[in-house]
A and B are shown apart, each in its own frame.
Chain A
């Protein structure tokens, strides 16, 4: 028995004891192939998944290396079956590859003929492959490059894509680092991506993913299409690019519901691309409007299904995905892997936080008790009504007001799901509210005012969940959410994780109703944050007074 920091479990989880002397070395050694699942305070849990192992293969690690790493750092003997499984899984990657053929165009080749035979007989790839060129080579319809990769991943034989990329229309882009510096992890992330060709960079909210995108563009030196979640986010990208790169306002176009500009760098929203009219996507032409050299996907974990289908046709273009988490609520992680690319860079939140790039957060869950009359209403309500009833209890208003008072003078966001509740809160707190029907212009104005400090309190609906930079927010109070979405919790906390002046820590409050589904959902969401290393405290509304600010 050695005294390693790692415990390898037979269910393919790896437990890393982080107080161990060798924990750091071990983390670096296993990071390429194991996915960090949770990182609470003492023991981090990594998981070995086929995707993770294939990611490692894509990065040039082989099975023997993985096995040796596990055996070297493991405190206890490693389960035999797991080692066998690692070797077998990793051996599946690279048996097939997509190549460019001088005469046949795109071809699928193999170094293991039975695998090709198996694939040719698979139902899932029917119709994507053309003629058999020789025993080990088969032609691929160029339009099926993405679909084929998706299908091959599903049947467990992921293909390596060596078919290369088109350069795209050249366009000079440089980072303008006169007043600031690209952080080391941002630089590493952009470089890992560039060497890998295409892929996903995973960084926590507030860690500066926009700049990674900008650095990638500087590598590509080509026209770029940037896909973002919404219009406000598109404007922020534009501002950031103008500020941080050699690009000027005129070179950057916005393609959204309001404006339709196509320029060397175009920022489009998912929404406009997925708008359907008479069963067709009228704005799909944008994807081919220019000879794009790079496509940037912001918030990959939110990528809507139609965009996946479109992305399948864009396999000849370089793609970079940016996200805070690879966890998709719809479980389509495999599609991200096959269509955008393997994970190219990853850093745990806590690490970046300890480097001082994002603010530490103090998370508190406040539990209110429903009055007896409401409990009876709640108990007899239809199941689908229950959450709304519990989440919107008037009891929360008083708690929110207490919290706002406690943090008077600190920029505060109140975040919620239900419009009536938000309206009521806004009225009681005398604060402006931003919701779905607020015009883009009004939103922009309010956000600007919040950023500049004119407004100290803002009530927002879920429109503010993503990609809106409110770096000055120091306190967030969450009153309701979308049924315990973990990813939403991450985003909301992300609003707060921009570095604060004087290293102050951010405050994140969740107000929930005790003994209802609201508390159950809250537990689900809090678990995500606890797993990220943010310890929750839970207090009763009555004891709020005793809480130190």
Chain B
């Protein structure tokens, strides 16, 4: 940082402890690039579009929408400290430590964070909140409801003494006023009187200056110091640094891991099963873009799960890029697995799980709403755009992080666990919508279904995932290993005591019907299932050989018999496809033809003593037969019927969403770029006379953002400025004003000429000049 920059605008160029900055912009200028980058990284909205210079940056930081976003990231403690700053006005850190009901160290940490976020800064008169913070906080969480302290408050003990002198009725009234926001109306009370003259509780309070009139009307308020006195010198009765404990029960790390990996395996298996089916039998895409109710029901039945679970799996599969849409043969859009699904299926189960879970974590959607109705009474289907919600992603992370902070094996207590978790999350992010309780409950439920939680506790794999470690390596040993054999039993079932190797599973599913799925798979043999294998060209001997090779135990006799029986009755009636057939009463003539050395290319086959068939089309066959001087007939070349398998459909993988790491890297790059730009802009600004002091009436017109920056600076510093204002007739007139706030394109300011508060349209302000002295 160059010396000329750091000295700009600095009133007293010493350390910040004994002196402050004239404005937030000045403080930001004094910051190192690193610190500036930290601010921009924490408040990313300030980087888009990139501010011109530091003044502009400071001005943008004070915009209400941006403040609100920054407030959303604060904990209850930080909000309370900020509120204490608002109550205290300009003050010292020491003072804040006294009035916040929390450990001093915690308050210091909170102050540092607030300063890092530029929500508080060091003014000349002391530490102060950014203008606009009080408005943005409103009456939301962390707000004590106390009025700001008087500019020069009486000593605390004096206020306490006055409170102590009150009659019980007056005290009750004061407490009521303070708890209701510190403002009241006192119609009919005299405002200037001595304590002895007071005849009503209100007058008692007014006389002791515990209620102070505001302006000239009957409105009065209880200054901050009074509220503090009532609350024992603190802004709140309760400690604000006490994080609500999550109610837990001990279930043991092993059980938690095992339950979670069970769910993880199920989720992976279910997604695979469902998408495999949809590859050949895809459901249609609704006109609204979602999946139909009936298709969801069918999916739930197939997976033997409830519909909400099926909806979750469908949503997650879609978020993971495994499910997409394309047009089917008739041109109607259908939901089908993407080509990424094939690669996914080949990956080990733990990796497949990770892909699903990553997608779920960052999926800004609420699958739990499927089946409910929106405001217009329309039922919500899976995959419709209406399920989007920006908040849920952060809630998911908050919930999982809260549960990961618990010791391994600790889980949410039954009953009390969930509400306490909601409170816990609420402390960390108090400014969240009211639906948070639902969101937390959904998150816990969905996490349980996906194996991100087990028995409502965080398993090792999830902890690894959140810590950025290799979750796959943690999870993989817990998942069933593929097996290469089955147990065949006399009741014509085969049990695969684990997930089968993919090829084996496919072949077995051909010969037998799947009866029950899970960690193991039960297959049942029946004559129709065996026939299915024969249909695709297996021979009886092949079926026997296959069974003997996969069965770890001897194949039971009834099964052998079943296969033989199926083979015996199979093909009693035969159907063959032939391009042409040949009949001849002269069997010898046919035999001759069949064994003719040049008839090999005709694919001749004898199906009865007097019948031959050929695979060659009639016209070709005729010519050839003529050449050979004879005639032919046939079944399909191998004697079996070929089944036509439907093609498995695939859609294109949607364009890969930026992986988390890449997004973070690009954010970092952007922040660095903005810092450089801001610094450059700043150097440019300081090389010409400052906007606030140099532009005079009639001088060059300010850019709108330049005017805003200058005005915000004036608001921050409380300086009086002269603005060149274009009135309704187009005349430029100088107005001396005390700016009070800038919002919605207008300046709110105390106008010296009319001695009243007035609004000025910012776009009509041509110049801003600081009144010297």
Q: Which residues of A contact B (CB under 8 A)?
A: 1-2, 7-11, 13, 15, 17, 38, 40-43, 45, 68, 71, 74-81, 83-84, 515, 526-527, 530-531, 534-538
Chain B 236-279 against A: per-residue CB contact (8 Å), 1 yes, 0 no? 00000000000000000001001111111110000000000000
Contact status A530-B519, CB under 8 Å? no
- In the complex, which of the residues B266, B479, B495, B498 contacts A81, with contact meaning CB atoms closer than 8 Å? B266
Contact status B492-A78, CB under 8 Å? no
A327 CB to nearest B CB, Å: 15
Contact status A535-B516, CB under 8 Å? no
Contact status B491-A527, CB under 8 Å? yes
Chain A positions within 8 Å of B304 at CB level? 10-11
Chain B positions within 8 Å of A74 at CB level? 258, 262, 519
Contact status B449-A40, CB under 8 Å? no
Q: In chain B, what residue has the closest Cβ to A526?
A: B558
Whole-angstrom CA separation of A2 from B305 in the bound complex? 26
Chain B positions within 8 Å of A80 at CB level? 259-260, 262-263, 266, 448-449, 451, 454
User: With an 8 A cutoff between CB atoms, is B490 at the interface?
Assistant: yes
Contact status B492-A81, CB under 8 Å? no
Chain B positions within 8 Å of A536 at CB level? 490, 557-558
- In the complex, which of the residues A1, A41, A68 contacts B477, with contact meaning CB atoms closer than 8 Å? A1
- In the complex, which of the residues B265, B493, B553, B556 contacts A77, with contact meaning CB atoms closer than 8 Å? B265
User: With an 8 A cutoff between CB atoms, is B437 at the interface?
Assistant: no
Contact status B258-A71, CB under 8 Å? yes
If A17-B497, A43-B495 touch, does A77 touch B558 (CB 8 Å cutoff)? no
Chain B positions within 8 Å of A11 at CB level? 304, 516-518
If A10-B517, A75-B497, A537-B558 touch, does A81 touch B259 (CB 8 Å cutoff)? no
User: With an 8 A cutoff between CB atoms, is B522 at the interface?
Assistant: yes
Chain A positions within 8 Å of B262 at CB level? 8, 74, 76-80
Contact status A77-B518, CB under 8 Å? no
**Extra contacts besides A9-B522, A78-B262, A531-B491 (16): CB < 8 Å:** A8-B262, A9-B518, A40-B493, A41-B489, A41-B553, A42-B495, A43-B495, A71-B258, A76-B479, A76-B498, A77-B478, A78-B258, A79-B266, A81-B449, A530-B489, A538-B561
User: With an 8 A cutoff between CB atoms, is B639 at the interface?
Assistant: no
Contact status A38-B491, CB under 8 Å? yes
Chain A positions within 8 Å of B305 at CB level? 10, 81
Q: In chain A, what residue has the closest Cβ to B258?
A: A77
B436 CB to nearest A CB, Å: 23
If A1-B481, A10-B304 touch, does A76 touch B519 (CB 8 Å cutoff)? yes
Chain A positions within 8 Å of B492 at CB level? 527, 530
Contact status A8-B259, CB under 8 Å? no
User: With an 8 A cutoff between CB atoms, is B487 at the interface?
Assistant: yes
Chain A positions within 8 Å of B490 at CB level? 40-41, 530, 534-536
Whole-angstrom CA separation of A426 from B509 in the bound complex? 47
Q: In chain A, what residue has the closest Cβ to B453?
A: A80
User: With an 8 A cutoff between CB atoms, is B472 at the interface?
Assistant: no
Whole-angstrom CA separation of A143 from B82 in the bound complex? 70
Contact status B263-A79, CB under 8 Å? yes
Max chain A C-beta neighbours (<10 A), residue from B263, B498, B519: B519
Contact status B558-A79, CB under 8 Å? no
Whole-angstrom CA separation of A45 from B261 in the bound complex? 23
- In the complex, which of the residues B451, B498, B569 contacts A515, with contact meaning CB atoms closer than 8 Å? B569
If A77-B265, A80-B449 touch, does A7 touch B518 (CB 8 Å cutoff)? yes
B488 CB to nearest A CB, Å: 8
Contact status B255-A71, CB under 8 Å? yes
B356 CB to nearest A CB, Å: 15
Contact status A77-B497, CB under 8 Å? no
Q: In chain A, what residue has the closest Cβ to B264?
A: A77
Whole-angstrom CA separation of A67 from B249 in the bound complex? 15
Contact status B520-A15, CB under 8 Å? yes
Offer 19 A-B interface pairs, CB within 8 angstroms, sorted by A. Answer: A1-B480, A8-B518, A9-B517, A10-B517, A15-B522, A38-B491, A40-B490, A43-B497, A71-B259, A76-B518, A77-B480, A80-B263, A80-B266, A80-B448, A80-B451, A527-B491, A530-B490, A536-B490, A538-B557
**Closest 4 pairs between A and B when the two form their complex, measured CB to CB:** A77-B262, A9-B518, A76-B519, A530-B491
A48 CB to nearest B CB, Å: 12
Chain A positions within 8 Å of B265 at CB level? 76-77
Chain A positions within 8 Å of B691 at CB level? none
Residues facing A in B497-518 (CB within 8 A) are 497-498, 516-518
Chain A positions within 8 Å of B556 at CB level? 41, 535
B608 CB to nearest A CB, Å: 21
Residues facing A in B431-473 (CB within 8 A) are 448-449, 451, 454-455
Chain A positions within 8 Å of B487 at CB level? 17, 42-43
Contact status B263-A77, CB under 8 Å? yes
Whole-angstrom CA separation of A81 from B454 in the bound complex? 11
B500 CB to nearest A CB, Å: 13
Max chain B C-beta neighbours (<10 A), residue from A2, A7, A13: A7
Whole-angstrom CA separation of A95 from B205 in the bound complex? 58
Contact status A40-B260, CB under 8 Å? no
User: With an 8 A cutoff between CB atoms, is B309 at the interface?
Assistant: yes
Contact status B557-A77, CB under 8 Å? no
Chain A positions within 8 Å of B517 at CB level? 9-11
- In the complex, which of the residues A81, A535, A537 contacts B309, with contact meaning CB atoms closer than 8 Å? A81
Chain A positions within 8 Å of B477 at CB level? 1
Contact status B489-A78, CB under 8 Å? no
If A80-B262, A537-B558 touch, does A75 touch B491 (CB 8 Å cutoff)? no
Chain A positions within 8 Å of B481 at CB level? 1
A349 CB to nearest B CB, Å: 14
Q: In chain A, what residue has the closest Cβ to B305?
A: A81
Max chain B C-beta neighbours (<10 A), residue from A8, A71, A76, A530: A76
Chain A positions within 8 Å of B306 at CB level? 81
- In the complex, which of the residues B258, B451, B455, B553 contacts A42, with contact meaning CB atoms closer than 8 Å? B553
Residues facing A in B537-575 (CB within 8 A) are 553, 556-558, 561, 569
Whole-angstrom CA separation of A45 from B260 in the bound complex? 24
Max chain B C-beta neighbours (<10 A), residue from A43, A79, A83, A530: A79
Q: In chain A, what residue has the closest Cβ to B554?
A: A41
Residues facing A in B640-667 (CB within 8 A) are none
Whole-angstrom CA separation of A526 from B258 in the bound complex? 38
Whole-angstrom CA separation of A535 from B306 in the bound complex? 38
Max chain A C-beta neighbours (<10 A), residue from B264, B479, B522: B522
Contact status B497-A7, CB under 8 Å? yes
Contact status A7-B489, CB under 8 Å? no
Contact status B516-A13, CB under 8 Å? yes
A65 CB to nearest B CB, Å: 13
Chain A positions within 8 Å of B264 at CB level? 77
Residues facing A in B281-308 (CB within 8 A) are 304-306
A6 CB to nearest B CB, Å: 10
If A1-B478, A77-B478, A81-B449 touch, does A8 touch B561 (CB 8 Å cutoff)? no
Chain B positions within 8 Å of A41 at CB level? 489-490, 553, 556
Whole-angstrom CA separation of A77 from B557 in the bound complex? 34
Chain A positions within 8 Å of B489 at CB level? 40-43, 530
If A77-B479, A527-B491, A530-B490 touch, does A535 touch B449 (CB 8 Å cutoff)? no
Chain A positions within 8 Å of B558 at CB level? 526, 530, 535-538
Whole-angstrom CA separation of A7 from B518 in the bound complex? 8
Whole-angstrom CA separation of A98 from B449 in the bound complex? 37
Chain B 295-334 against A: per-residue CB contact (8 Å), 1 yes, 0 no? 0000000001110010000000000000000000000000
Max chain A C-beta neighbours (<10 A), residue from B478, B479, B518, B557: B518
Max chain A C-beta neighbours (<10 A), residue from B255, B497, B498: B497
Q: In chain B, what residue has the closest Cβ to A540?
A: B561
A483 CB to nearest B CB, Å: 19
Chain B positions within 8 Å of A15 at CB level? 495, 497, 520, 522
Whole-angstrom CA separation of A338 from B628 in the bound complex? 84
Q: In chain B, what residue has the closest Cβ to A42?
A: B487
Chain A positions within 8 Å of B569 at CB level? 515
Chain B positions within 8 Å of A40 at CB level? 489-491, 493
A310 CB to nearest B CB, Å: 37
